[in-house]
Amino acid sequence: MENTSVQELQLTAIKPDPNQPRKTFDEEQLRQLSLSIEKFGVLQPITVRPDKDGHIIVMGERRYRASLLANLKTIPCIVRDFDSTVISEVQIIENLQRQEVEPLEEAEAIAYLLEKYTAEEISHRIGRTLKFIYGRIKLANLIEGFRPFVKSKELTLSLAVKIAMFPKADQEMFLDTMGDGFRSYPVENAISNKMFDLQEAPFQLDDAKLLPDAGPCALCPFNSKNQGNLFGDDKQICTKSSCFTAKKSKTLLQLIEQVKADGTLLVPEIYKYNIDSSHNALVLSIIQENGLIPYILDDLDYIEQPVIPTKEQIEEENHWMDFTKEELEQEFNEAMALYAEELQAFHDAPEKGYLKGLLFNTRTYQVKEVLVLIENETPKEKNSVPIDKKKMDDCTPKEKIQKIKDRELRKKQIEGNKEFEEMVRAIGESDYVNSKKALTQNEMVAFCISLYENTIGYGTKRKFIDGFYGKNQPKDVSKNVQRFKKNFKKDTFNKLIRLLLLQNVHFGESNHTNNLVNNSFYVALKDYCKKEIETIEASYAESLSLREKRLQDRITELEEELSAQKG
């Protein structure tokens, strides 16, 4: 039977294992432990193995180092013979059972154990959760360029794990986005553009035939669910953008073949104003190259099958209104009446020339069944003179009718313009602006739409408030406003106010010390982004202090030179 009795050995006859996986020790914690050892002695023996020159530490190097600091001559030891193949494993597990292990060392150690044990077995052996183990397994893949920022704690562990989930080429790209020094925002932004929610994928996750070389997403190591569910809530996030993009493209090609076979119209969600964006231009080119007419939403009208409303849905959408039972019943009845009208219109649509279609989202590549009416489908004769350029006498009877209708429509437009101008002038001359009443819902809706349409730029819209009017924007302005009002939330109002604050600050010669707008923004946001602002301010304060010191030193030199000249 192996002797496990405690022996008191000379510290000079003991040495650390050069292959010990733990490389860092907190100096302050070692000092505190040494003070405890001076007072109470070493309460738990260290474990050593025999060596030709004495003994080598297997477990307890921290206690050994603290004993040296305490100037002890001997230390209690348990001497054991270990098989050389298990020494590293024993040391790793012993280190991992402690709380103060440096995260990157911890990650490397767990990755080493993974060659022999499953993640579940490692979790059981060291007493950590399975999610923790998977997080450290991913952290071991972090490229060298990011590691100093983890050690300096500039890079949080949660963000480091997200970075490490990506292939090394992507990690290098993330590193390049920062420029000099560490900045989290460009990295987080780059990551968000490289992460894809597989629950919204346009293909089946268990489809092994879509891209045979890649295999099914359900089994892929770049699916976060197969990395220990690091995002929680059973989310499945793909971190291999090249594969995800290739599968989307293959899905579009299959969809094109399907609509060719069954005669369904494929309509990408594209308008003239955004037709040149990279992803929209790509989709249109693929559709055209494969023999389909590249329709866009400006060319047609479409109808979706309406969804039957529920009281629960109405309460959720209008949670801030705090309906009474009677008010909720009234809202529900109105919603049901609208649903009945929309359902009837949907059923009547085929008789009015609407055809079966698939509405195609150019970002997600998901499709939705709709009924589509192509407007102005009859091709115009080449070199024909437009009706509005023809004299009435030169028009056919059909063209004369169209010309009369166009003129009447234009007259209504002009009268409508004048009518609205008079209304706005009347409101401006009233006491409206000085009213003490709280803003009504209609006013908040008007403010949101006004700000969105007239002030927020296209890039900002896409970044912060994509889908502002919902999935399908009715062409009828009045209907669009009413629907927006129906789904209005104060969160939208608050978000637009914050966007307005953010985009109305001034740069150049204006800053938060010499401009009223900038200073008010700085005061408003100082508590919200306290840590970020303090970090930036500290950096500039340090630079200013160094510059002022150099300036003062130079002035002192010049003053001494001037004094010497006078003397």
pLDDT given at position 308: 93
Please pick, among 8, 27, 28, 61, the residue that the annotation labels catalytic. Answer: 61
Q: Using CA atoms, how far apart are residues 158 and 107, in angstroms rounded to an integer?
A: 13
pLDDT digits (tens, 9 = 90+) for 351-371: 988 999 999 999 889 999 999
Is 200 among the catalytic positions?
no
Max distance between CA atoms of the chain, in angstroms, equals 120
pLDDT given at position 228: 62
Helices H, strands E: what count in the chain? 21, 11
pLDDT given at position 379: 38
**Residue 312 CB neighbour total at 10 angstroms:** 8
pLDDT given at position 380: 38
10-residue averages of pLDDT along the chain (567 residues) = 72 84 76 87 85 84 90 89 63 60 78 76 79 83 88 87 85 85 84 82 89 87 72 71 88 92 91 84 89 87 90 80 82 88 90 92 91 66 55 72 76 77 80 83 84 74 72 72 80 82 79 82 80 82 82 80 71
Element (H, E) at 69: helix 61-69
> Domain boundaries in the chain?
6-181, 195-258, 263-378, 388-429, 441-503
**Helix residue ranges, H only, 212-265:** 241-262
Q: Using CA atoms, how far apart are residues 471 and 491, in angstroms rounded to an integer?
A: 18
Secondary structure of residue 217 in the 3-state scheme: helix
Beta strands 265-268 and 355-360, pairing class:
parallel
pLDDT given at position 372: 92
Match domain 6-181 to its CATH number in 3.40.50.300, 1.20.120.1750, 1.10.760.10, 1.10.10.2830: 1.10.10.2830
Threshold 0.75, pTM exceeds: no
